[in-house]
Amino acid sequence: MAAPRAVVVLSGKRKSGKDFVANLLQERLGCQVCAIMRLSAPLKGQYAKEHNLDFDRLLDASDYKEHYRVDMIRWGEERRNQDPSFFCRLATEVKEADHLVWVISDARRLTDLDYFRKHYRQTIAVRIQADDTVRAERGFVFTPGVDDAESECGLDTVKDWDFCLNNNNQQQLEEQFTLLLNTIQLNLS
Ligand SMILES: Nc1ncnc2c1ncn2[C@@H]1O[C@H](COP(=O)(O)OP(=O)(O)OP(=O)(O)O)[C@@H](O)[C@H]1O
Ligand SMILES: C[C@@](O)(CCOP(=O)(O)O)CC(=O)O
């Protein structure tokens, strides 16, 4: 299988708009070219099976997943502690891996970023930011044990992002998003 031409690794706090940006990239590049891969997908899949939960609802943007977030984090960390690459490998060993552009929509830990930078020199690391007030309007509520823990803060110290996208609204997002899109398109030409 040919290697992807660009591996776009997205990171950002809850409700900063990671899924929104991932979907926008796929929309602009086309779903034949661009695949969205979620590190949390294999985690949620296995967690749903073991706990008899609705996998699709764990994946969507509703409140459902929030009831299970603390325990899912604990569950995932048990596996990550044994093998930090576990979910990175599972998320990318999928049929969509033949796409030219991969969007990894939810890097959270230094080990996630290290994994992609080590295995794919075409990695483009992107931090998405939105003001707390905007995140709150999108449904964010600070949860101790989640928003002050590694799952949400593990990449706060990273300074060498390839792109930082401010996503308080679509208009603000657009300018930096276009630069990101141009960089991806250069990799495709
Ligand atoms: N630029 C934007 N314009 C309009 N709505 C937006 C924008 N960015 C995000 N949203 C909306 O805000 C909500 C949260 O966005 P999204 O689900 O992408 O965040 P997230 O970072 O993936 O959150 P989580 O970590 O909780 O999964 C969604 O309903 C999304 O449609
Ligand atoms: C359990 C976890 O994968 C949930 C992620 O959910 P979401 O990306 O916010 O939809 C977070 C984590 O792995 O720390």
Q: What is the pLDDT of residues 31-75, one digit of tens each?
A: 999 999 999 999 999 999 999 999 999 998 788 999 999 999 999
One CATH from 3.40.50.11540, 3.40.50.300, 3.40.50.2300, 3.20.20.240 for 6-40+96-188? 3.40.50.300
42 lines ligand 2 (CB under 6 A): no
Residues of the chain with pLDDT under 50: none
- What was the ipTM of the complex prediction? 0.96
In this prediction, residue 30 carries a pLDDT of: 97
- Alpha-helix runs per DSSP H in the chain: 18-29, 40-51, 55-59, 69-82, 86-92, 110-119, 132-137, 150-153, 170-188
Residue 43 CA to ligand 2 centre (angstroms): 8
Residue 106's identity, in one-letter code, is D
Query: Would you say 161 and 126 are in contact if contact means Cβ atoms under 8 Å apart?
Result: yes
Residues paired with 165 in a beta bridge: 128
For residue 12, the ligand 1 atom closest to its alpha carbon is 21
The ligand that comes nearest to the alpha carbon of residue 43 is 2
In this prediction, residue 147 carries a pLDDT of: 95
Tokens of 97: 């891996």
